[in-house]
Amino acid sequence: MLRYFFIFLVIFLFGSYVVYYLQNGQYTLDKLLNNPPAITEQEERLAGLQLRHAELKNLTDRLRDGSIDLDLLEELARIELYYVRDNEIVLPLEKKELK
């Protein structure tokens, strides 16, 4: 009987600690659920990632077999493969990265 009392006491104390920490600790439920600056920051990050996704989707759609954009293909070949025609003179200034 005493054994069950100690088990109950340990569970009760642990549960009490968890409830106390959720109400008064560093990461309270109130702080986690009602944190507008963090939510705004994450929404801005999401908007930026969605914009980047749309740009990359546009590039990949333009490179598909049925609708190859020859200007884009030539630009990518020049940037990535350092493609230069025989009659061109190239003066490298800085490396251009794809957005």
Q: What is the pLDDT of residue 82?
A: 80
Indicate the number of domains in the chain: 1
- Band (pLDDT 50/70/90 cuts) for residue 98 is low
Handedness of CA 56, 59, 64, 66 (dihedral sign): positive
Handedness of CA 42, 43, 49, 52 (dihedral sign): negative
Tell me if 89 is assigned to some domain.
no
Tell me if 21 is assigned to some domain.
yes
Q: What is the pLDDT of residue 24?
A: 82
Task: Answer yes or no: is pLDDT of 48 > 90.
Answer: yes
Tell me if 8 is assigned to some domain.
yes
Rounded CA-CA distance 13/77 in Å is 67
Tell me if 48 is assigned to some domain.
yes
Residue 33: domain span: 2-80
Tell me if 68 is assigned to some domain.
yes
- Band (pLDDT 50/70/90 cuts) for residue 45 is very high
Cα distances from 47 to residues 37, 43, 52, 53, in angstroms, run: 15, 6, 9, 10
Q: What is the pLDDT of residue 99?
A: 56
The DSSP-derived string for 21-52 is HHHHSTT-HHHHHS-HHHHHHHHHHHHHHHHH
What's the rounded mean pLDDT across residues 93-99?
66
| Residues ≥6 apart with Cβ < 8 Å to 64 | none
Tell me if 90 is assigned to some domain.
no
Q: What is the pLDDT of residue 29?
A: 73
Tell me if 70 is assigned to some domain.
yes
